[in-house]
Amino acid sequence: MDQTYDLVGCGFGPSNLAIAIAIVERWNSESRERCPIKKVCFIEKHPRFLWHPGMLLPGTTMQISFLKDLVTLRNPSSEFTFLAYLHSNNRLLSFINRGSFFPTRREFADYLAWAAEKVKTLGIEISYGEEVVEIRETCIEGVLQITSSRDGSQITRTTKNLLISPGGSPAIPSAVTHMMDSENILHTSIYAYSIPRLLSQTAAKQRPIRIAVLGGGQSSAEVTIDLYRRLEHLPASDRPHEVDLIIRKGSLKPSDDSPFTNTIFNPEATDLFYEISTANPGARSRLFSEYRNTNYGVVNPETLDTLHELLYEQELSDGIASRSNSGTAENSAPRLRILNNQCLIGASLTEETDQTEGRLSLTLQDTHKRTLAAFGPYDILILGTGYERQIHTKLLSSSELGKKFYRDQTITETDLLNPLTASSTPDSTEASTPTSSSLSLEPGMTSPSPKLLVTRKYRLVPIEPCKSRIYVQGCVESTHGISDTLLSVIGVRAGELVDDLWKDEPDT
């Protein structure tokens, strides 16, 4: 029996889950045996379905309506809608009574896990706990070999088509790249399951804990609030615990999700982004700049209000304490500071002695005055510095196959103005969702990334003939627009991509 898959998917986050749903629905409507794509496997490195587990913080909500789930915009009568999930879990009425379009992040993660389980029962193969490490051509034309690693051993599969949707990987500022093996420095992507142990280790030293959070986007704001709440419950000694939020801008800024602005997340906007670069050189960069504050380096207004309220309470307590001289209880609350107009340019680890209370010293540059100052020592540094979108490039470069798809040249502004240029570059901006790869290159910037050509239907265009089709999702923001890394269009996108996959001759 031919063990070759019709489709292998790298990664099983919401993007590929939406594809799995679109495939299952095709199987239901056309009969699986008659479909060109019958044998499908998704490979996911997490041990089970998990959606951003490091940021599933108590009380955090989705920044997208539940109606923009995996499928509703494409097929509202699907059995995979968020409403169907609520119904099957007997929570439909309670959810309605809740009176909000925005589920908690925890509930949305549970919806995704429910859908992932359901597609599995309908014939989609999912292999968890495996990381795709190499993609290469085989000696059979039109067949690719996918190698993944699981617990140190390698597994190979062959497939006719490949779908790469690996999401982002943490963007680490260059000032701390050399220190990332230190357990005191962590990215927000692993925050929720790393911080309890780190705090209890630090608390065991029985001295005030000092933490720096870097970044002015949604993740940093959420983490700052979460740290405050955790530190409130950790006994302080002679002085309170401290959290410094370090941001480059003059102040935290709100994300714009007002109704007119939100239309940039409509499925039609993908056509606009894709076409505009052909029709009007320079317009794509202007469009990104115009809508940057929907997602990048901004914080949702409710989170801003919560953070502001904490700072206001702190001011009030200080005022009361200084007047009455009896504010001991209030003064034991953690201290929050926002260090604005500051850019991290250096960091060093200090040996812990009786005299030093922390282990991390940060050098910050004032973005206006250009002056340098040392801050700390901190016990913990948390990086809310967003995500890069380069995993697809690394996988494509893992063998000679990449040469069929990318041109080994840097991308310039001129390239950006050409159609079909797809590659994004990290700029460590923080996103409001909070996701963030970076936006496409700003005019004049160059990227060391190879240049890839992608069709409107997300298929990589080979330079030399290649019978296998390779599709990408979540890494083509520069051509397909600001929704590419978000959930806004995933249901519709899955339909477009699967339509293309079903065709004998794909769209060009």
Q: Which residues bind ligand FAD (CB under 6 A)?
A: 10-16, 43-46, 51-52, 55, 62-64, 131-132, 165-167, 391, 433-435, 473-474, 485-488
How far apart CA 491 and CA 14 sit, in angstroms, is: 9
SS (H, E, C) 440-504: CCCCCCCECCCEEEECCCCEECCCCCCCCEEEECCCCHHHHCHHHHCCCCHHHHHHHHHHHHHCC
Cβ(202)–Cβ(183) below 8 Å: no
Cβ(269)–Cβ(263) below 8 Å: yes
How far apart CA 320 and CA 332 sit, in angstroms, is: 14
Q: Is 205 helix (H, G, I), strand (E, B) or coil?
A: coil
Give 167 or 216: the residue with its C-beta nearer to ligand FAD. 167
CB atoms < 10 A from the CB of 506, how many? 16
Instruction: Provide, rounded to whole angstroms, the least separation between the CB of residue 12 and ligand FAD.
Output: 6
Give 131 or 357: the residue with its C-beta nearer to ligand FAD. 131
Instruction: Provide, rounded to whole angstroms, the least separation between the CB of residue 25 and ligand FAD.
Output: 18
- Whole-angstrom CA distances from 204 to 197, 235, 236 are 11, 11, 11
- Whole-angstrom CA distances from 466 to 39, 80, 393 are 21, 34, 17
Question: What is the separation of C-alpha 401 from the centre of its chain, rounded to a whole number of angstroms?
Answer: 27
Residue 452's beta-bridge partner residues?
406, 422
Name residue 389's amino acid. R
Instruction: Provide, rounded to whole angstroms, the least separation between the CB of residue 102 and ligand FAD.
Output: 8
Instruction: Provide, rounded to whole angstroms, the least separation between the CB of residue 11 and ligand FAD.
Output: 2
Give 425 or 488: the residue with its C-beta nearer to ligand FAD. 488
Give 202 or 303: the residue with its C-beta nearer to ligand FAD. 303
Give 334 or 474: the residue with its C-beta nearer to ligand FAD. 474
Give 85 or 378: the residue with its C-beta nearer to ligand FAD. 85
Instruction: Provide, rounded to whole angstroms, the least separation between the CB of residue 43 and ligand FAD.
Output: 5
Of 447, 324, 436, the residue nearest 387 (C-alpha): 436
Instruction: Provide, rounded to whole angstroms, the least separation between the CB of residue 63 and ligand FAD.
Output: 4
Instruction: Provide, rounded to whole angstroms, the least separation between the CB of residue 434 and ligand FAD.
Output: 5
Give 360 or 498: the residue with its C-beta nearer to ligand FAD. 498
Instruction: Provide, rounded to whole angstroms, the least separation between the CB of residue 336 and ligand FAD.
Output: 21
Give 21 or 62: the residue with its C-beta nearer to ligand FAD. 62
The structure tokens listed for 426 are 């990290």
Residue 157's beta-bridge partner residues?
146
